[in-house]
Amino acid sequence: MTTAMSLFEKHADLLNEAVSALHTRTYYTPYPEHPRAYPEEANDAGKDWFAKSMNQEFKELHVESSDWIGEEVSPYFQTGIGVTYPTLSLDQLIHNAQAAKTWKDVSVGERAAILIESLDRVAKRYFDIAYATMHTTGQSFMMAFQASGPHANDRALEAVAMGYHEINRFPSEVNWVKPMGKFDLELHKTWKAQPRGIGLVIGCSTFPTWNTVPGMYASLVTGNPVIVKPHPKAILPIAIVIAELRNVLTENNLDPNIIQLAVDTLSKPITKQLAEHKDITLVDYTGGNVFGDYIESLNKITFTEKAGVNSVIIDSPKDIKGVAQNIGFSASLYSGQMCTAPQNVYVPESGIDTAEGHVSFDEVVMHITKSVEGLVNHPKMGAGTLGGIQNDNTIKRITDGGNFGGELALGGQEISNPEFENARIFTPRVVVTDYNNVEAYGHECFGPIVFIVKTKDRNHSLQIAAEMARSKGALTCLAYCTDEAMMREIESTMNAAFTPVSFNFGGAAFVNQHAAFSDFHVTGGNPAGNASFTNPEYVNKRFVWVGNRYAK
Nearest one of 441, 326, 447 to 375, comparing CA atoms: 326
Q: Please classify residue 191 by burial: count the beta carbons closer than 10 Å to its beta carbon, then call 0-12 exposed, 13-18 middle and 19+ buried.
A: middle
Model confidence band, residue 2 (pLDDT cutoffs 50, 70, 90):
very low
How large is the C-alpha radius of gyration of the chain? 25
Position 488 scores a pLDDT of: 98
Domain membership of residue 221 (yes or no) is yes
DSSP state string for 232-257: TTS-HHHHHHHHHHHHHHHHTT--GG
Contact 198, 280 (CB under 8 A): yes
Residues 76 and 209 in one domain: yes
- Start-to-end Cα distance in the chain: 31
Q: For residue range 19-46, what is the model confidence (pLDDT) as tens digits?
A: 999 999 999 999 999 999 999 999 999 9
- Tens of pLDDT, residues 94-107: 999 999 989 999 99
Q: What percent of the chain has pLDDT over 70?
A: 99
Are both 276 and 342 inside the same structural domain?
no
Q: Is residue 26 part of a domain?
A: yes
Number of H helices, E strands in the chain: 19, 19
Nearest residue to 387 via CA among 151, 130, 126, 129: 130
Q: Please, is 436 exposed, middle or buried when counting C-beta atoms within 10 Å of its C-beta (0-12, 13-18, 19+)?
A: exposed
Evaluate whether 37 touches 222 at the Cβ level (below 8 Å). no
Any idea what the CATH number is for the domain that residue 301 is in? 3.40.605.10
How much of the chain is in helix, strand and coil states, percent to nearest 5?
Answer: 40, 20, 40
CA angle 314, 318, 324 (to 5 degrees): 55
| Same domain for 315 and 270 | no
Which class for 447: exposed (0-12), middle (13-18), buried (19 or more C-beta within 10 A)?
Answer: buried
Q: Residue 453 is part of a domain; what is its CATH number? A: 3.40.309.10
Specify the pLDDT at position 32. 96
356 with 475, same domain? yes
Contacts of 458 (CB under 8 A, 6+ apart): 313, 315, 316, 348, 486
Instruction: Tell me how many domains the chain contains.
Output: 2
- pLDDT band, very low/low/confident/very high, at 416 (cuts 50, 70, 90): confident
Look at residue 415 in the predicted model and tell me its pLDDT: 84
**Are 423 and 498 in a shared domain?**
yes
Per the structure, the complete domain to which residue 130 belongs is given by 2-306
- Beta strands (DSSP E) in 274-402 are 280-286, 301-305, 311-316, 344-348, 352-354, 357-359
Q: CA 403 to CA 295: how far, in whole Å?
A: 33
Element (H, E) at 477: strand 477-481
Q: 367 and 257 share a domain?
A: no
Sign of CA dihedral 518, 519, 521, 524: positive
pLDDT in tens, 49-67: 999 999 999 999 999 999 9
Per-residue pLDDT at 1 exceeds 80: no
Q: What is the pLDDT of residues 184-215, one digit of tens each?
A: 999 999 999 999 999 999 999 999 999 999 99
- Domain end among 467, 487, 503: 503
| Boundary (domain end) residue, out of 262, 279, 306 | 306
What local confidence, expressed as pLDDT, does residue 402 receive? 82
Q: In this structure, are 280 and 336 located in the same domain?
A: no
Q: Which conformational region is residue 451 in: left (phi greater than 0), alpha (psi within -120 to 50 degrees), or beta?
A: beta
- Cα separation, 308 vs 76, whole angstroms: 28
Same domain, 211 and 257: yes
Q: Are residues 385 and 282 in the same domain?
A: no
Mean pLDDT of all residues in 320-326: 96
Distance between CA atoms of 186 and 333, rounded to whole angstroms?
A: 63
Same domain, residue pair 278 and 325: no
pLDDT digits (tens, 9 = 90+) for 505-527: 999 999 999 999 999 999 999 99
In 3D space, the residue among 548, 543, 545, 494 whose CA is nearest the CA of residue 223 turns out to be 543
What average pLDDT does the chain have? 96
Angstrom distance (rounded) from CA 151 to CA 148 = 7
486 contacts 504 by C-beta, under 8 angstroms: no
Is residue 195, in this structure, part of any structural domain at all?
yes
Cα dihedral 313, 314, 320, 321, rounded to 10, equals 10
Rounded Cα distance, 199 and 533, in Å: 16
DSSP element (H, E) containing 69: strand 68-69
Which tens digit of pLDDT belongs to each residue from 368-414?
999 999 999 998 899 999 999 999 889 888 888 788 999 999 987 77
How many C-beta atoms lie closer than 10 Å to residue 99's C-beta? 12
Q: What is the pLDDT of residue 552?
A: 85
Is residue 516 a part of any domain in this protein?
no
Give the pLDDT confidence score for residue 18 in this predicted structure: 98
The per-residue pLDDT for 92 is: 97
Same domain, 352 and 434: yes
Residue 284 has pLDDT above 70, yes or no: yes
Residue 312 near residue 326, CB atoms below 8 Å: no
Q: What is the pLDDT of residues 244-258, one digit of tens each?
A: 999 999 999 999 999
Domain boundary among 481, 503, 525: 503
Q: Are strands 226-229 and 502-503 parallel, antiparallel or unpaired?
A: unpaired
Question: In terms of domains, do 350 and 255 share one?
Answer: no
| Separation of alpha carbons 163 and 337, rounded Å | 30
The pLDDT of residue 3: 65
Q: Provide the pLDDT for residue 349.
A: 97
